[in-house]
Chain A
């Protein structure tokens, strides 16, 4: 009960602070303060309290992660800023123009994507060790400080059977991101084409495809993927390449149902436009209607969906890998890595460095997700700006 009393007391104090601050501001006679509602004043007081709280937390010795997060945030912001600054002054004029209008978030997203792409493509050269190499010492703590149980040779430590985490993270970019990207592209090709086709043709084809999609969507997607992959693993007869291929196709088909529904509903909105009618009356074929008249106008929502879908596919692959039917064990994969290293999280309270091991692959996933969505947001903003 006393907890509630505390909360009420704190809120009341904040309200009082807001009121007092506003009254003080009004003495200056400024319009901003005069027209400020009490709710807004409360919001400012709350923000002030949060800021003070954060400053206090920063000084606490136990709040290691909080400090890391803030430092990481600051570094990201500075990196994005420098990247945008470079973009504004280097390169061809058209590119520079893009950078000039770009918000910082989008610059950050592009930077992240470029770094991931470089890491994924050149993984073989960048990584100090092979992804499957067992290097002796197991469970080396990240940080490379021998006093803390680290080893300078393995800056991010090793896992339970002594593989270098840094190398596996780098190879993970290649495996996880590459596969997720291919899967999402395939899902969009399938779902997008069929969805727009259903919107243009309508009638029985629309019914057939839509009901088919309904059936696929009625089955929980992870269970369904698991079921199909079990069957596929029999077909693959243990060949790792084939199993991966089946996984890509299966996840793409299951995810394409979501894309189908979006593309169809967006397409239906566009099909009624007069320019589509004009094209139909001209006698244009289906290909022209779908790819020239409708698709370019459906691009904005589809791109937004792409960013989101990419993240979901990513997570699906991670969960399937954990269940043993996704990316196969010797290959590095971020999802599997999180699971493998998960129990170290228990040491977070007294050995922050140890708990870092499972957080790194998780962070890799999160960073890419955030980056992709920043870029997609920006593209959407630009697309909607063109319309008005």
Chain B
């Protein structure tokens, strides 16, 4: 029997600076019927481009320059527009990374859902609606009869992602391409979407290409894994074999990323003054209370990880500490002294002591300033250095963050990679010579290998400079790697706090338990085991709602 999808020696080029550059270089791919293939690699490896090419499609500014894509015997690259139109949506479907951005906000979900089956003449509208409700039920969406009649903004992110999967299923396609469907979701929501996708793909025997950069996720979903690196295939193997015996060095390095682990530092002496203490802080945006009676301490030279899902108040806590959001009640003390509530009332030295590193390096660095200007500004501002002394200090800082001053000094942020940008953000914080750095999800926008490099850098800087970190994250792997203490937050409250080793050993608070167990593991049986333990109703939003 011929395979469902067969890609041979595919070359794809992208246009930038008036020239064509290769994105995918001679990749082969075979997908059997009912098989799920995982595509992994760093950003820029050509995963998404390859995924789209499997539908015979290339984005604007991208062209397929060679090779063949045969779907069920038909060459998609030579097929006419009419022929492709009859396939897409009906036999090949696509699930995008951001469901929120992919649904049209002006139409009800059900109207968008029924478009494909009605247009392809598979079912009429009434039957399509009935079928949608059935699919919603299969995907365990709450209130399947009516949820489709809402608009996209009235549904949560995890639900929206499942609605999109349902939509892709509406014509019972032979092949679905999932492009990082859970990357933008919280762990507890992700697991629910993963379970739903896997179930439905199993039930209908659909073939799928599952694109992701998260190894643990792909281990749950795929029968086979293909690793890509800058447009070329590194290796392909069945999931279990790939996890246990990776052949290539690059694959091994991907696997090893999760190995970074830094031992917990000894507990501070009982009488020590914490560098920062948050005491009974309650804060609100307008009438909406977002923080209730938050208290925790950060001791000198230690890393405190603040974890929780999005909307739990982690970032708001950072805004209160930096003075961007004056709290309604409670105080923030720095080395025992109460800080003024608003940043405008704080002295230059008080501002200098607490610095921030942001999640999105893209918006954290001024795109019109060179690296030297970005790093040099705080040096000039706080220490008044100029001319040669300023330049020497900037070079020193750049060496600390492992960027070569001669190469990078005059570059603009647009000319840096994601990891390099984040390093510049770190250097800007260091330039102020602070005691405490607040790291707001600094690694969540980065690839795993790059993220690991950043974590190692932060750990090294802590050892060298005696910095304290407040580490805001939703990724428990990061917490395991770098934290000394953990503060768990849920809907504006601190649920549990303590030393890392204590937090990762049972018994836990039920919410901590839920968070911990929802982090995907590399073991391909992890999801099955978890489902067996918790049952379907114990997943995601359903589980959080019950707490």
Residues of A within 8 A of B (CB): 31, 34-35, 101, 273-275, 277-284, 292-293, 296-297, 299, 386-388
- A34, A101, A281: the one contacting B18 at CB < 8 Å is A101
Q: Supply 11 further A-B pairs (C-beta < 8 A) apart from A282-B351, A293-B366, A386-B414.
A: A34-B80, A35-B81, A274-B358, A279-B377, A282-B382, A283-B343, A296-B369, A297-B367, A297-B368, A299-B368, A387-B367
A-B contact pairs, 21 of them (CB 8 A): A34-B80, A35-B80, A274-B360, A274-B363, A274-B364, A277-B324, A277-B356, A279-B377, A280-B343, A281-B322, A281-B351, A281-B356, A282-B377, A282-B381, A282-B432, A283-B351, A284-B381, A296-B366, A296-B368, A386-B412, A386-B414
- Distance (Å) between the CB of A386 and the closest chain B CB? 6
Indicate whether B314 reaches chain A with its CB closer than 8 angstroms: no
- Distance (Å) between the CB of B411 and the closest chain A CB? 12
Closest 10 CB pairs of A and B: A296-B368, A274-B364, A275-B366, A274-B358, A35-B81, A274-B363, A283-B351, A273-B363, A283-B348, A35-B80
Given contacts A101-B18, A296-B366, contact A281 B324 (CB under 8 A): yes
Residue of B whose beta carbon sits closest to that of A388: B414
Q: How far is the CA of A386 from the CA of B322 in the complex (A)?
A: 32
Residue of A whose beta carbon sits closest to that of B374: A275
Find residues 492-527 in chain B having any chain A CB closer than 8 Å to their own CB: none
Indicate whether B426 reaches chain A with its CB closer than 8 angstroms: no
Q: Which residues of B contact A297 (CB under 8 A)?
A: 366-368
Query: A278 and B351: CB pair below 8 A?
Result: no
A-B pairs with beta carbons under 8 A, tally: 59
Query: A275 and B81: CB pair below 8 A?
Result: no
Q: Which residues of B contact A299 (CB under 8 A)?
A: 368
Q: Which residues of B contact A284 (CB under 8 A)?
A: 381
Indicate whether B323 reaches chain A with its CB closer than 8 angstroms: yes
Indicate whether B173 reaches chain A with its CB closer than 8 angstroms: no
Indicate whether B428 reaches chain A with its CB closer than 8 angstroms: yes
Q: How far is the CA of A273 from the CA of B359 in the complex (A)?
A: 12
Q: How far is the CA of A31 from the CA of B367 in the complex (A)?
A: 43
Q: Which residues of B contact A280 (CB under 8 A)?
A: 324, 343
- Distance (Å) between the CB of B441 and the closest chain A CB? 12
Given contacts A35-B81, A283-B348, A296-B368, contact A275 B363 (CB under 8 A): yes
Indicate whether B166 reaches chain A with its CB closer than 8 angstroms: no
Residue of B whose beta carbon sits closest to that of A37: B81
Given contacts A284-B381, A296-B368, contact A278 B428 (CB under 8 A): yes
Indicate whether B378 reaches chain A with its CB closer than 8 angstroms: yes
- Distance (Å) between the CB of A184 and the closest chain B CB? 23
Q: Which residues of A contact B414 (CB under 8 A)?
A: 386-388
Indicate whether B365 reaches chain A with its CB closer than 8 angstroms: yes
Q: Which residues of B contact A274 (CB under 8 A)?
A: 358, 360, 363-364
Residue of A whose beta carbon sits closest to that of B382: A282
Q: Which residues of A contact B78 (CB under 8 A)?
A: 31
Residues of B within 8 A of A (CB): 18, 78, 80-81, 322-324, 343, 346, 348, 351, 355-356, 358, 360, 363-369, 377-378, 381-382, 412, 414, 428, 432
Q: Which residues of B contact A293 (CB under 8 A)?
A: 366
Q: Which residues of B contact A388 (CB under 8 A)?
A: 414
Q: How far is the CA of A281 from the CA of B346 in the complex (A)?
A: 10
Q: How far is the CA of A274 from the CA of B356 in the complex (A)?
A: 10
- Distance (Å) between the CB of A44 and the closest chain B CB? 17
Given contacts A35-B81, A274-B363, A275-B363, contact A281 B343 (CB under 8 A): yes
Query: A281 and B381: CB pair below 8 A?
Result: no
Residue of B whose beta carbon sits closest to that of A100: B18
Q: Which residues of B contact A277 (CB under 8 A)?
A: 324, 356
Q: Which residues of A contact B366 (CB under 8 A)?
A: 275, 293, 296-297
Q: Which residues of B contact A35 (CB under 8 A)?
A: 80-81
- Distance (Å) between the CB of B65 and the closest chain A CB? 15
Q: Which residues of A contact B356 (CB under 8 A)?
A: 277-278, 281
Query: A282 and B367: CB pair below 8 A?
Result: no
Q: Which residues of A contact B81 (CB under 8 A)?
A: 35
- Distance (Å) between the CB of A39 and the closest chain B CB? 13
Q: Which residues of A contact B368 (CB under 8 A)?
A: 296-297, 299
Q: Which residues of B contact A283 (CB under 8 A)?
A: 343, 346, 348, 351, 381
Q: How far is the CA of A31 from the CA of B84 in the complex (A)?
A: 14
Query: B322 and A282: CB pair below 8 A?
Result: no
- Distance (Å) between the CB of A29 and the closest chain B CB? 12
Q: How far is the CA of A297 from the CA of B382 in the complex (A)?
A: 25
- Distance (Å) between the CB of A297 and the closest chain B CB? 6
Q: How far is the CA of A296 from the CA of B356 in the complex (A)?
A: 23
Q: How far is the CA of A247 from the CA of B355 in the complex (A)?
A: 50
- Distance (Å) between the CB of A142 and the closest chain B CB? 44
Q: How far is the CA of A47 from the CA of B487 in the complex (A)?
A: 69
Q: How far is the CA of A33 from the CA of B279 in the complex (A)?
A: 73
Query: B358 and A278: CB pair below 8 A?
Result: yes
Q: Which residues of A contact B18 (CB under 8 A)?
A: 101
- Distance (Å) between the CB of B85 and the closest chain A CB? 11
Q: How far is the CA of A278 from the CA of B434 in the complex (A)?
A: 14
Q: How far is the CA of A387 from the CA of B346 in the complex (A)?
A: 35
**Residue of B81, B356, B366 with highest tally of chain A CB at under 10 A:** B366
Given contacts A281-B323, A282-B351, A387-B414, contact A275 B365 (CB under 8 A): yes
Query: A386 and B367: CB pair below 8 A?
Result: yes
- Distance (Å) between the CB of A71 and the closest chain B CB? 32
Given contacts A274-B364, A386-B367, contact A282 B378 (CB under 8 A): yes
- Distance (Å) between the CB of B442 and the closest chain A CB? 12
- Distance (Å) between the CB of A17 and the closest chain B CB? 22
- Distance (Å) between the CB of A104 and the closest chain B CB? 14
- Distance (Å) between the CB of A309 and the closest chain B CB? 22
- Distance (Å) between the CB of A59 and the closest chain B CB? 40
Q: Which residues of A contact B351 (CB under 8 A)?
A: 281-283
Q: How far is the CA of A35 from the CA of B348 in the complex (A)?
A: 66
Q: How far is the CA of A135 from the CA of B29 in the complex (A)?
A: 84
- Distance (Å) between the CB of A149 and the closest chain B CB? 53
- Distance (Å) between the CB of B523 and the closest chain A CB? 37
Query: B364 and A278: CB pair below 8 A?
Result: yes
Q: Which residues of A contact B324 (CB under 8 A)?
A: 277, 280-281
**Residue of A273, A283, A386 with highest tally of chain B CB at under 10 A:** A283
Q: How far is the CA of A297 from the CA of B367 in the complex (A)?
A: 7
Q: How far is the CA of A297 from the CA of B343 in the complex (A)?
A: 24
